[in-house]
Structure 1
Amino acid sequence: MATHHQVLIIGGGTAGIMTASQLITQKKTKDIAIIEPADTHYYQPAWTLVGAGTYDYEKTGKPMADVMPNGAKWIKDKATAFDPENNLVSTANSGNITYDYLVVASGLAYDFSLVPGLGDAIDKGVVCSNYTDPKHTWDVVKNFKGGTALFTQPTTPIKCGGAPQKIMYLAESHWAKSKTRSKTDVVFATAGTVIFGVKEIAKTLMEVVDRKDINLRFGYQLKKIDGANKIAWYSFAEHEKEYNHKNVKIEKDGNLTGIHYDMLHTAPPSVAPDFVSKSTLVNEAGWLDVDKHTMQHNRYANIFGLGDVAGLPTAKTGAAIRKQVPVVVDNLGLLINHDKMGNKSYNGYSSCPLVTDYGKMVLAEFDYNNNFTPDPKLKQMFISDSSKEHWRLWMLKKYGLPYLYWNKMLKGKDV
C-alpha cells in the first residue's frame, strides 16, 4: 500500500526547503512531505570563499533536521523512479509514495564520464574543484609554487556559471601576496565566446583580467584529463579566440590541443540525476521539462520543477531559486484550493556574485534576455552600480547572504 501526500517534494536543497517553507507559512497545504537522503544541508555559495581560505567550511553546513520546516514530513530516502500517469514516486527503501501534486527539486548530479580522466584526477594532487571539495582547493592554492595555473569548466550547464572564474581571481590575489605570482601563468580556458554573457558585467571583468594579467582562451571545449602527465585536452570551436597570450606548454594530438598544468581547477560536468534523466519528465537536453515562466511541467499539469534540475535557459543559482519559489508556491496554492493557475511569471532572473578579489565583488543580476537587472535594494547599501567592483558587495557575499539564507529564505520568509 503506497503512502499518500497532497504535496510531495523531491529534494531537500535550497529549492525544496524554500518551497515547503513557503507553502507551510502561507497555509497553502496541511499535508506535505520531502524526500531527501542527506544528513547535512550545505550553503554552497560560500564554498568559493572556503576554496580561497576566507570562510570556514564547517559553517557552510547544518543538520538537515534543523532546516526541515515544521509541518513537513521528512522521508529520509532516495527517490528512484517516477510513474506520472499514476501520480507515484518510487523510493529506495520506503516503497511507493503517491501524491496530488509533485515538486521536483532534486538538484543536479555530476557525470565524470563526460570528461574521461577527470573522475580519477579530481580532488587529488593538484586537481581541485570548489564544487566537490573546497577544502582541497584551498590546499592546492596555498601550496602552489608557480607554473601554469589552469582554470577551466566543462561544456555542460553547471551550477553558478561564474564560479570557475571567481576562484581564479581570488587565487591570483593570494599568489600575488605570497610572492608566487611572478612565477605563474594564469590561464582561463572556456567553451564560451565571452567572459560573461551580460555586457555591463563583462566590461568590468575584462578590466579585472587586465589588472591580473590573465590569459583567456575562448572556444576551448574540455574533452579529457591526463592526470598522470598533467595535461588538459581540448577541442576548438570555430570561433576560438585568445586574449592576452601566454606562452604555456602546449601538446597537439590530432584535432585536440593539450595544455600542461601545474594546478587545475574545474567545475564537474553536470547532468540531471539518473532517476530524472531516465524518466519521461525530461526534455531533449535531459533536464526537467517545465514551462519557463510558470515552472509547471509541460506534459503533467500536477507536476512542477525548479532549481538546478529544471530545463530553463538561465543560470543555475540560489538567486534564481529565490525568484522561482514564489511562482511555484502561488500556482500550487491556487491549484490546491481553487483548481486554477496564478498569473505570477518567472522572468529568468538569476544572479551571480562575482568575487574579483579579497574585499571586492561585482553582482551580476540578469534575466532570460541577459538584461542587467540590478536589485533596487542595493541602493539602500549605497551601491549605485553593482556592475562595478565594490567592498560592500563583498560584505554582502561573506556576511549578508549567508545570514539571509539560513534565517529568512529557508524559513519561508519573503526576501
Structure 2
Amino acid sequence: MQTQDHRQTGQVNSHIRTMAAALSSQVALVRKSNRLLYSLRSHFHTSNGLSSKEHYKVVVLGGGAGGIAMGARMKRKVGAEHVAIVEPSEMHYYQPMWTLVGAGAKTVSASGRPTASVMPSGVKWVKSRVMKIDPKNNTVFTESGKEISYDYLIVALGLRLQYEKVKGLPEGFEHPKIGSNYSVKTVEKTWKALQDFKEGNAIFSYPNSPVKCGGAPQKIMYLSDSFMRKTGKRSKANIIYNTSLPVLFGVKKYADSLWEIVKSRDLNVNLRQNLIEVRADKQEAVFENLDKPGETKVYEYEMLHVTPPMGPPAVLKGSSLEDQAGWLDVNKDTLQHKKYTNVFGIGDCTNLPTSKTAAAVAAQSGVLDRTITKVMKKDKPDKKYDGYTSCPLVTSYKTVILAEFDYDGQPLETFPVDQSKESRIMYHMKADLMPHLYWHGLLKGLWGGPGPYRKIMHLGMK
C-alpha cells in the first residue's frame, strides 16, 4: 500500500513538473516578444490623456485577475494599441494568498505587485474608476472625466465587500481581537488576533450572501486550530464555525472529508447562523438563526474572523447589464451577455452559477477568448464553459484537500488520486506552484485552467 502511495505521489510530482515546464516555455516566448514593447510602457500607461474622448476596439473594465488576463489575451488578438483597461488601483494582489497571510504563513507584501508591473505592456491603462456604463451607445464614463467608446466590452469588475451590512462594522476593526482575510486592510489583524489569543471562543463566520472563495471562511479556522495546537493554547480554546449555509461545503465528496476533520479536531460547526452585529468594545458577536428569523444568539469572543457579506459592483445597477440580483447577466456557457452581443463578462461580477475563485477565472478566460474570436468573425461561439472551479481547502500548515468541481457540483479532478484526502503535495501546490501559475500564467493570458492536462493525467478517460 505504501509503495502504491509513493508511486502515486511520484506520478503527481511528475505531472506538476511537466505543467510547470510547459508554462515556463510559454512565458519565455511571451517575454521575448514583449521586450521590444517594454520601453514604451511608461508612455502608454498614463491616465491623463489630452482628449476626454477615446475609442478602443476592446475595453476591459477591471484590473483584477480576469481583467488583466483578458487584457493580455486581447492584446495578442487585436494589438496593444487597440486595448484599454480601466482600473484605479496602484497595487494588484494575489488574494488567494491572504488565507496564509492571516495565519502567519505568508506576508502581505508577498501577495502584491504594482499594477503597472502586471498590466500588459503597450495597452492603455486608464487609471480611474468606472462611473457609468452605457451599453446602448457602446460607451463607458470614468470618474476622471473620460468618455471611452468601444467595439467590444469585457466586464471584469469583481465584487464588493459589504462590511457595512453588519452592524458595528467596519469600525469594529479598530478594536483588537477581530480580523478578516478578505481585505488587505484587515488580513494582518487576523494574524495579530491569532497570536494574541489566550483563552475563550475563537469564532469564524460565513455570511448570507454569495462570497468569493467559499472555502476561505473555514480554511482560517483549520489553520487557527493548527496554530493553537502548535503553541499549546488549543485546550483553552473553543473553536466555533457559524455558517449561513445549510451544509459545511457545497460538494458532498469534500464535505464528507471536512466533517471528519471537524469531528476529529473538536471544532464546533453551527449551520444557518448569520452574523448580524459585532460589538467590538464588548467582544460580542450577534448571530441570527436563518431558520427562525428574529431569533438571535450573542457570543463572547477572544478572536473573531469575519467574512463580510458581498454583492455586485454598484456601477452595474441601472446599466441594463445586470440581472435581478444585480450581477452581470451572461450566458453560462459562452460568457457573452444575454442582451448585448458585444459585451462579455468574467469572474466574480458575473451571475455564473459556480464558485467565485481565481481558478474559475482561469478556466473562463480560455472559453471567453474563444467566444470573442468567434463573435469578431461573425460566427457563433462554439466552446462551452463547464463551470470548472477549484478550492484548495487548507486544513493545516502542511495539508490541503484540493476540491475541483463543475456547474453540477460534480468533482472534476485533475490528478489521478483521491483529492478528497488531505495531501502535503497539494499544500505545496497551493502555497508555491499556484502563485507562480497566477503571476506568470493567468495574468499573461497563458493559463486557461488544467483542462488540457486532466485528460493526459487520467490517460484520456476524463
Instruction: Give distance in 1, aligned partners of 2:386 and 2:362.
Output: 12
Question: Does the C-alpha gap of structure 1 residues 174 and 333 become closer, same or farther in structure 2, counting only changes over 3 Å?
Answer: same
User: 1:250 — aligned with what?
Assistant: none
Is the aligned partner of 1:162 residue 2:191? no
- Answer yes or no: is the 8 Å Cα contact 1:28–1:333 preserved in 2: no
Is the aligned partner of 1:398 residue 2:395? no
Instruction: Give distance in 2, aligned partners of 1:149 and 1:123.
Output: 18
Per the normalisation by structure 1, the TM-score is 0.92
- Answer yes or no: is the 8 Å Cα contact 1:6–1:31 preserved in 2: yes
Question: Does the C-alpha gap of structure 1 residues 326 and 256 become closer, same or farther in structure 2, counting only changes over 3 Å?
Answer: same
Instruction: Give distance in 1, aligned partners of 2:447 and 2:240.
Output: 41
Higher strand share: 1
User: 1:325 — aligned with what?
Assistant: 365
Higher helix share: 2
Instruction: Give distance in 1, aligned partners of 2:132 and 2:191.
Output: 38
Of residues 395, 398, 401 in structure 2, which corresponds to 1:362? 401
Of residues 117, 135, 145 in structure 1, which corresponds to 2:198? 145
- Answer yes or no: is the 8 Å Cα contact 2:179–2:188 preserved in 1: no
Partner letter of residue 201 of structure 2? T
Q: CA deviation at 1:27?
A: 5.2
Question: Does the C-alpha gap of structure 1 residues 30 and 317 become closer, same or farther in structure 2, counting only changes over 3 Å?
Answer: same
Mapping 1:327-366, distance limit 5 Å: 327-336=367-376, 338-366=377-405
Instruction: Give distance in 1, aligned partners of 2:78 and 2:132.
Output: 29
Q: Deviations over 1:62-88 (max 9, x none)?
A: 111110112321111111111111111
- Answer yes or no: is the 8 Å Cα contact 2:102–2:187 preserved in 1: yes
Q: Deviations over 1:132-156 (max 9, x none)?
A: 1221211111111110000012111
- Answer yes or no: is the 8 Å Cα contact 1:192–1:218 preserved in 2: yes
Q: Deviations over 1:201-254 (max 9, x none)?
A: 01111111112100010011222222222222222133x8xxxxxxxxxxxx96
User: 2:300 — aligned with what?
Assistant: 260
> What is the DSSP-based 3-state SS (H/G/I as helix, E as strand, rest coil) of the residue aligned with 1:118?
coil
Q: CA deviation at 1:277?
A: 3.0
Instruction: Give distance in 2, aligned partners of 1:400 and 1:124.
Output: 36
Instruction: Give distance in 2, aligned partners of 1:228 and 1:5.
Output: 51
Per the normalisation by structure 2, the TM-score is 0.83
Instruction: Give distance in 2, aligned partners of 1:293 and 1:204.
Output: 30
- Answer yes or no: is the 8 Å Cα contact 1:334–1:342 preserved in 2: yes
Instruction: Give distance in 2, aligned partners of 1:389 and 1:107.
Output: 30
Mapping 1:165-244, distance limit 5 Å: 165-238=218-291
Is the aligned partner of 1:134 residue 2:187? yes
Mapping 1:278-297, distance limit 5 Å: 278-297=318-337
User: 2:38 — aligned with what?
Assistant: none
Q: Deviations over 1:260-304 (max 9, x none)?
A: 212110212111122123432111111111111111111111111
Q: CA deviation at 1:399?
A: 0.5
Q: Which structure 1 residue ranges, 5 or more long, are not aligned?
A: 241-252
Is the aligned partner of 1:103 residue 2:154? yes
User: 1:122 — aligned with what?
Assistant: 173
Q: Deviations over 1:374-396 (max 9, x none)?
A: 01xx34xxxx1111100000000
User: 2:127 — aligned with what?
Assistant: 76
- Answer yes or no: is the 8 Å Cα contact 1:123–1:129 preserved in 2: no
User: 2:23 — aligned with what?
Assistant: none
Of residues 45, 52, 60 in structure 1, which corresponds to 2:103? 52
User: 1:385 — aligned with what?
Assistant: 418
Where has structure 1 moved over 6 Å in runs of 4 or more?
none
User: 2:355 — aligned with what?
Assistant: 315
Partner letter of residue 335 of structure 2? M
Instruction: Give distance in 1, aligned partners of 2:446 and 2:214.
Output: 27
Instruction: Give distance in 2, aligned partners of 1:233 and 1:9.
Output: 40
- Answer yes or no: is the 8 Å Cα contact 1:35–1:79 preserved in 2: yes
Q: Deviations over 1:304-327 (max 9, x none)?
A: 111111112111100000111112
Instruction: Give distance in 1, aligned partners of 2:95 and 2:294.
Output: 39
Q: CA deviation at 1:167?
A: 0.5
> What is the DSSP-based 3-state SS (H/G/I as helix, E as strand, rest coil) of the residue aligned with 2:321?
coil
Partner letter of residue 352 of structure 1? C
Greater CA deviation, 205-214 or 4-13?
Answer: 205-214
> What is the DSSP-based 3-state SS (H/G/I as helix, E as strand, rest coil) of the residue aligned with 2:170?
helix
Q: Deviations over 1:335-384 (max 9, x none)?
A: 22x12232111111111110001100001111111101101xx34xxxx1
- Answer yes or no: is the 8 Å Cα contact 2:353–2:407 preserved in 1: yes
Instruction: Give distance in 1, aligned partners of 2:288 and 2:93.
Output: 35
Q: Deviations over 1:125-178 (max 9, x none)?
A: 111101112212111111111100000121111110000000010011000111
Q: Which structure 2 residue ranges, 5 or more long, are not aligned?
A: 1-51, 449-462
Query: What is the percent sequence identity of the aligned residues?
Result: 40
Is the aligned partner of 1:298 residue 2:338? yes
Instruction: Give distance in 2, aligned partners of 1:37 and 1:30.
Output: 20
- Answer yes or no: is the 8 Å Cα contact 1:21–1:411 preserved in 2: yes
